[in-house]
């Protein structure tokens, strides 16, 4: 079992969007997946509920408690992957999610302000790395305006954190919000879409980081 958490103390950066689509892409590849919703706002659970009659791709379980790292093994014993959708703000919850993880993805929007705001989660991750040497973490650029390069100011702001940045990025696309409103992944909504392709690329990159 490998655990990937999607964390940033800032809200609205795309944690839930990445979590549900990454979980969906992994399950599409034949992996058994559990999506753990650790946000008290329970957006991933809302996403699953919005599916209505459509069969669930994977179970979504709510666990907004700072004991995630202690219980994740029991909750997801038979799964290949656990994807954790993290909470904004709550530090003890984020710390618990980090301790539960093999890989932490940090979504950041390509603006220096957003990158500076990720300092808090980066510090928590670096602290955890002392006790958990195998822990990996990487930034994911989200909500990028299509056909624009990541600005030099953004790249240099990210460099100061000394964590890798995934090559795959997630663009700002209407399909992310549209598919979420009906509880679908972008791949289910339109498997040929640019969004489906970038989610696929992200998933491949995550699998290669985890050597899966």
Ligand X SMILES: Nc1ncnc2c1ncn2[C@@H]1O[C@H](COP(=O)(O)OP(=O)(O)O)[C@@H](O)[C@H]1O
Does 14 engage in binding with ligand X (CB under 6 A)? yes
- Nearer to Mg ion by Cβ, of 43 and 185: the residue is 43
- What span, in angstroms and rounded, lies between the C-alpha atoms of 170 and 110? 10
Q: How many Cβ atoms from other residues are within 10 Å of residue 152's Cβ?
A: 8
**Shortest approach of ligand X to residue 126 CB, angstroms?**
21
- Nearer to ligand X by Cβ, of 11 and 164: the residue is 11
**Shortest approach of Mg ion to residue 43 CB, angstroms?**
4
| Residues contacting residue 208 through CB under 8 Å, at least 6 positions apart | none
Does 12 engage in binding with ligand X (CB under 6 A)? yes
Among 8, 21, 43, 118, binds Mg ion (CB under 5 A): 43
- Rg of the chain (C-alpha set): 16
Residue ranges of the alpha helices (H) in 8-75?
15-28, 43-49, 68-75
* Strand intervals (E) in the chain: 2-6, 33-37, 60-62, 81-85, 103-108, 136-141
142 binds, among Mg ion, ligand X, none (CB under 5 to 8 A by kind): ligand X
- Nearer to ligand X by Cβ, of 149 and 212: the residue is 149
Residues 166-195, one symbol each (x = binds ligand X by CB under 6 A, - = not), give ----x-xx--xx--x---------------
- Nearer to ligand X by Cβ, of 43 and 200: the residue is 43
User: What is the three-class DSSP state of 144?
Assistant: strand
The answer to whether 72 and 44 are in contact (CB under 8 A) is no
- Nearer to ligand X by Cβ, of 167 and 212: the residue is 167
Query: Residue 172 corresponds to which tokens in the numbers above?
Result: 């700002």
In angstroms, the Cα distances linking 157 to 107, 165, 169, 201 are 14, 12, 17, 24
**Shortest approach of ligand X to residue 144 CB, angstroms?**
8
Choices 36-44, 45-53, 123-131, 153-161 (CB under 5 A): range interacting with Mg ion: 36-44
Q: Which residues bind ligand X (CB under 6 A)?
A: 11-17, 43, 142-143, 170, 172-173, 176-177, 180
Q: Which residues bind Mg ion (CB under 5 A)?
A: 15-16, 43
């Amino acid at each position: 079992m490998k655990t990937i958490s999607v964390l940033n103390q800032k809200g609205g950066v795309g944690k839930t969007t990445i979590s549900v689509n990454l979980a969906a892409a992994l399950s599409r590849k034949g992996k058994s997946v559990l999506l753990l919703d650790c946000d008290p706002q329970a957006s991933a659970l809302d996403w699953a509920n919005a599916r209505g009659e459509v069969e669930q791709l994977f179970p979504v379980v709510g666990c907004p408690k700072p004991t995630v790292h202690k219980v994740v093994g029991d909750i997801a014993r038979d799964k290949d992957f656990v994807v954790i959708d993290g909470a904004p703000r709550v530090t003890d919850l984020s710390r618990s999610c980090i301790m539960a993880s093999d890989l932490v993805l940090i979504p950041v929007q390509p603006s220096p302000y957003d990158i500076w705001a990720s300092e808090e989660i980066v510090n928590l991750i670096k602290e955890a790395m002392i006790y958990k040497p195998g822990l990996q973490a990487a930034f994911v650029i989200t909500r990028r305006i299509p056909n624009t390069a990541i600005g030099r100011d953004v790249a240099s702001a990210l460099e100061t954190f000394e964590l890798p940045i995934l090559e795959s990025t997630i663009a700002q696309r209407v399909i992310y919000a549209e598919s979420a409103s009906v509880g679908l992944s972008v791949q289910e909504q339109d498997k040929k879409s640019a969004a489906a392709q970038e989610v696929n690329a992200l998933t491949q990159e995550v699998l290669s980081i985890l050597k899966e």
